[in-house]
Chains A and B, each alone.
Chain A
């Protein structure tokens, strides 16, 4: 069948850069689904985008919808045919209703069927309805209306191009009629241009100074930035986030460098980079030793003409921002962090939960508790406590008030300048980690202690106000913090009971009511459980995760148990062993007591099992205490054979109640020991 190329271009006012990747994905998915629903075969599908346009380019579009045959069931054969085998009234009526002749009905499985052939309609006709549907099917984080329309889109739609090869697919949406007229670059092109054939789209755009293909544009941006950086003897720091944003801020990129006055480079590097990168979307440039060079690179939405004007303008703006930063820095330095800390008394932590000053007092106590739990050295403890005291002092400095993303970073820099030990400075910075999904974890012991203290305090405080994250609602980023706790405990290999920290945090926050305390413990445990699940999910079987999640107080141990069980299940005869454990566990549910009286054993098999248990128990308990769960499972599996023999020859439910409960007691004891590693009943064999 003949194939054509389809172009749909939605011309808009500037779409927010951060929304573009998702919109382009949606556009593709939605187009694929709608073409499939309409039974139109298509080839390669490509979505393209710039700030001012979303485009869909599809190759190999069949010119007709696929024909379709549908069978519709009618009356049963018994009713459909009379004694001579001729169609009955019922069959004739059914055939008429389906617009087929009675003799065309077919019989199968005791029923008659009408076969309806539906010839495919021409694609161009269908597209008139499909294309608006594709556009309307897109959803956005923020919708808007414009003019006097009710129609909503991410930004106003100003033109529409819809071509199937040369042919215009005519439709109207949001008061705009589709056609072949597109618009070029706002400032470089002559304005409107006409597209003759869908397949010419990318080339036509380029002639009009629009690099519509984001992959091509991204490559060009990177090449431009790298060339400019090289020219100045440095290397540009191209972060993915910023590159992706700049990509959707320009249609025709040209990179250029601007100068930074040397005097601003005496500021901490982050204090220079943050206004540059986060506020101005400039790329910082470093020399090959990693030191910041006195220049920035910006990507202009335009060509090489008048670059000096653009450079000068951008230099002025950055200068004003850095001048602000320098002013704040120098003002801040007139006081030490210890002195700034006083002002935290006036800063509310969370409604009804006192000041941030009081929070730092809690952090000192929590840090002390954690230091004891992990048997930290005296130095680590002292550093953690000092860092806890100063941890929030930078929040009231001018620099952090102006550039909030520098919290912790300025604390670190000011602590260094105050002459605090470097460990204290590092811990102040690290305690906010991870600052975003995928960010680094704290590495120093003091940083880890303080980070854990801060996150536990945040969780308990926020939960105490009933603000447990649900759905997309997580204004305090508690999920990220809880995930940070899990990852950090695993990385640090710290075994400690979270519930004791939660208890301490509640004491410090003055949460006394028993019911509230109990609920808090279970809410926090449930919350941590979900994060643990996420951490384990990529490389641990889901049933293994379920088998170890019953008890999550010691998070690091949970992950070790999960890995040990996963390892154990890979052994060839693990299934048999698991079955033995499960069998013992199932019947043990019938008993509560764990007492064993060896004198009451009658059969050889139970005496053997009891002996085996006594021997294994000593070894396994010791290994479990050392968190050697692989070793513990190796020891435990020695019980499988005796368990099997026991069940083969011993009747658990003996008539003598004492004998019966003694046997149950033995099984219960075995089950309890095994469950110290995992609940094998959850394992899917």
Chain B
């Protein structure tokens, strides 16, 4: 199964189970959780089911394209279902079957992993799913996001696409993964990995990044005060990515780190509060629709 076929199969699977199939969000981010389709939409009482691929940037994980497993940017397939269905584990296992992983032939385990994102003021309980000893998925029941209780509870399932593809294709090096016939992952991303890692570790302009962080932060606050949650949230994402770049550069000391994370969390919280209010004022449109359907 080629990389893109893997993506199709999972998209098709979740699409058939009533999920909105969305595209990646176009602002840099460290994980699919930060996409507003997750971060904002899991808040409030409205139902929400969505699946999308998210290219996720983790500057500190870059290895100049030299490491067979570690990447500056990897791809997640992110699924959100709110409220979490009673048979979500079974659905998940069926989705693995849809990409050719038959549970009977493997050792699949749900190993405790309590997820927390201090930057997003978010935490949840769940597992990492192991396939023959390899972590392939994060499975989390969100309890809080943006420092707010998530009610109803949304379940988040994050597939690590590179790992799955390597496993399915039986290759030891991510750059050998076949994206489609005749084109490898390396053909597409290797140079990008090298350049992005070099930039993050060696070339970035610290002073400019600190300056940008401040500016993004100010703009986020200014816009949120006007009540415009979506543009404000874009700046929160930019703050977060800028912080990650500074962190990878080693420009932030351990004690400063906590303070920076606190600043981003505060912004995220403001957006969450604003979003919840906005949906209430709109009369929870998706809630009404689901009632009509019921």
Q: How far is the CB of B46 from chain A (nearest CB, A)?
A: 11
How many residues on chain A are close to B (CB under 8 Å)?
Answer: 45
Collect the chain B residues with CB atoms within 8 Å of residue A17's CB.
Answer: 111-112
Which of A18, A146, A156, A317 has a CB less than 8 Å from the CB of B112? A18
Closest to A186 in B: B103
Interface flag for B131 (CB, 8 Å) = yes
| CB pair B89 A314 closer than 8 Å | no
| CB pair A145 B132 closer than 8 Å | no
| CB pair B110 A320 closer than 8 Å | no
| CB pair B151 A147 closer than 8 Å | no
What 0/1 pattern do residues 161 to 200 of A give for CB contact below 8 A with B? 0000000000000010000000000111000000000000
What 0/1 pattern do residues 303 to 339 of A give for CB contact below 8 A with B? 0011001101110111110011000000000000000
Q: How far is the CB of B266 from chain A (nearest CB, A)?
A: 20
**For the complex, what is the distance from the CA of A95 to the CA of B159, rounded to whole Å?**
73
What 0/1 pattern do residues 127 to 165 of B give for CB contact below 8 A with A? 100011110000001010000000111010000000000
Given A309-B132, A317-B132, A320-B68, A148-B152 contact (CB < 8 Å): yes
Interface flag for A498 (CB, 8 Å) = no
| CB pair A158 B86 closer than 8 Å | yes
Does more than half of chain B's interface fall in helix, strand or loop, or is it mixed?
mixed
Closest to B132 in A: A313
Q: Which of B108, B124, B167 has the most CB of A within 10 A?
A: B108
| CB pair B86 A14 closer than 8 Å | no
Interface flag for A442 (CB, 8 Å) = no
Given A187-B103, A348-B254, A313-B133 contact (CB < 8 Å): yes
| CB pair B107 A302 closer than 8 Å | yes
| CB pair A249 B254 closer than 8 Å | no
Which of B83, B89, B255 has a CB less than 8 Å from the CB of A13? B89
Within 8 A of A (CB), among B57-99: 68-69, 83-86, 89, 93
| CB pair A306 B254 closer than 8 Å | no
Interface flag for A239 (CB, 8 Å) = no
Which of A148, A175, A309, A316 has a CB less than 8 Å from the CB of B153? A148
Collect the chain B residues with CB atoms within 8 Å of residue A312's CB.
Answer: 132
Which of B105, B109, B153, B255 has a CB less than 8 Å from the CB of A145? B153
| CB pair B151 A148 closer than 8 Å | yes
**For the complex, what is the distance from the CA of A186 to the CA of B134, rounded to whole Å?**
19
Closest to A14 in B: B110
Q: How far is the CB of B42 from chain A (nearest CB, A)?
A: 13
Collect the chain B residues with CB atoms within 8 Å of residue A323's CB.
Answer: 68
| CB pair B153 A146 closer than 8 Å | yes
| CB pair A310 B112 closer than 8 Å | no
Q: How far is the CB of A324 from chain B (nearest CB, A)?
A: 8
Which of B69, B125, B132 has a CB less than 8 Å from the CB of A314? B132
Interface flag for A266 (CB, 8 Å) = no
| CB pair A313 B253 closer than 8 Å | no
**For the complex, what is the distance from the CA of A351 to the CA of B254, rounded to whole Å?**
9
- A residues whose Cβ falls under 8 Å from a Cβ of B: 13-14, 16-18, 51, 142, 144-148, 155-156, 158, 175, 186-188, 249-250, 280, 282, 298, 300-302, 305-306, 309-310, 312-314, 316-320, 323-324, 346-348, 351
- B residues whose Cβ falls under 8 Å from a Cβ of A: 68-69, 83-86, 89, 93, 103-112, 114, 124-125, 127, 131-134, 141, 143, 151-153, 155, 167, 172, 253-255
6 closest cross-chain pairs (CB), A and B: A313-B132, A148-B152, A16-B112, A14-B110, A314-B133, A306-B105
